[in-house]
Amino acid sequence: MDEEDTRLNCSICGNPVDGDGDICEDCLAEGRDQERGGVSRRRFLSGGILGITGLIGVGYLGVLLKNLYPSTSGTAKFQDVGPLSNFTQENYTLVTYTGEGFKDGVYVRQRAPGVIECFDFHCAHLQCPVQWVGPPTNRFECPCHGSQYNINGQHVAGPAPRGLYPHQWKVKGGHVYIGGQIS
């Protein structure tokens, strides 16, 4: 094939272009492509290629995140965990709170007649399960890094950044109802 046929003409001066692209070396060397002002065809197209690629990527990422991020958990329901008489003042009882697709342990005691105190059993440090050690120690202890909480769930020793997470509760008809975790 004759080479003359495939050569492009410079988009600025109209002379044939030797190498790749649509601007001749003379024009490039003298910066004529910059002088023309506005956005050159070349920059417009390159920007378009990058922009479209980016848009498609962001679109997929958005779908991915929206799809995978769990819907906000405000749907925690109250659950009957037994009659009030099951819970003493001195000792915590571990009850099961069944959420959507998961089971959670909640320590419950009757602080005063009809008044409940309850805490999630996951340590506030790294979520190991804490154990209640009854009188005379009266502490929640974590087996992982030794965080300790007092009978009111307050952090007293170890690396935890805060106290145990409480749960919502209510007493109705002599029964204790446990709700979602309060952060």
Partner 1 sequence: MKRIRRALPEEASRRGRSPDAWLTDNWLVERLGMKRFLNSQLYHRVPRRVNPLDFLGIGSLFVFINQVITGIILATWYSPSVPAAYDDMKKIAHQIPLGWLVQNLHYWGANLMVVLVFFHMLRVFYIGAYRKPRELTWIAGVLLLGITILFAFTGYLLPWDQQAYWASMVGTWMPFYAPVVGTFIVHLIRGGDYITSVTLSRFYAIHVLVLPALFLMVFGLHFYMVLAKQLTMVEEARDLPKRQRGLVTFFPTTVFQMMMFLVIIGCLLLYISMNVNAPLLAIADPLNKAHYNPVPIWFFFSIYQLLKYIPPVLDPLGIIGLPLIAGVVLLALPFIDRIPRRTPSQRKTYTVPAAVVVAAVFALTYLGAVNQGIPGGSSQVVANPTYSKDILPILQADCAQCHSQAVYKSMGTPMLLSYQGINTPYKGQKLIVPGDPAKSILYLRITGQQQPQMPLGGAPLPKNTIATIANWIKQGAKQ
Site of interaction with partner 1 (CB under 8 A): 65, 68-70, 73, 94, 96, 99-105, 121-122, 125-129, 131, 133-134, 137, 139, 141-146, 148, 157-161, 181
CB of 113 to partner 1, least distance (A): 25
Contact 138, 150 (CB under 8 A): yes
Cα(50)–Cα(155) distance, integer angstroms: 52
Residue 12 vs 181, nearer CB to partner 1: 181
Tell me whether residue 107 or residue 169 sits nearer to partner 1 (CB atom).
107
Dihedral (Cα; 151, 157, 160, 161), 10-degree rounding: 90
In the complex with partner 1, which residue's Cβ is closer, 11 or 159? 159
- If the CB atoms of residues 110 and 181 are measured against partner 1, the closer one turns out to be 181
Q: How far is the CB of 24 from partner 1 (least distance, A)?
A: 35
Dist CA 126 CA 35 (whole Å): 61
- Cα distance between residue 58 and residue 64, in whole Å: 10
Provide the H-helix boundaries in the chain: 3-6, 25-29, 32-35, 41-68
Comparison of 139 and 175: residue with beta carbon closer to partner 1: 139
76: three-class secondary structure by DSSP: coil
Nearest alpha carbon to residue 121 among 97, 99, 88: 97
Least distance from partner 1 to the Cβ atom of residue 127, Å: 5
Q: Cα(152)–Cα(9) distance, rounded to whole angstroms?
A: 83
Shortest Cβ 3–partner 1 spacing (Å): 26
Q: Based on CB atoms, which residue is closest to partner 1, 26 or 104? A: 104
User: How far apart are CB 143 and partner 1 at their closest, in Å?
Assistant: 4
Beta carbon of residue 161, minimum distance to partner 1 (angstroms, whole number): 7
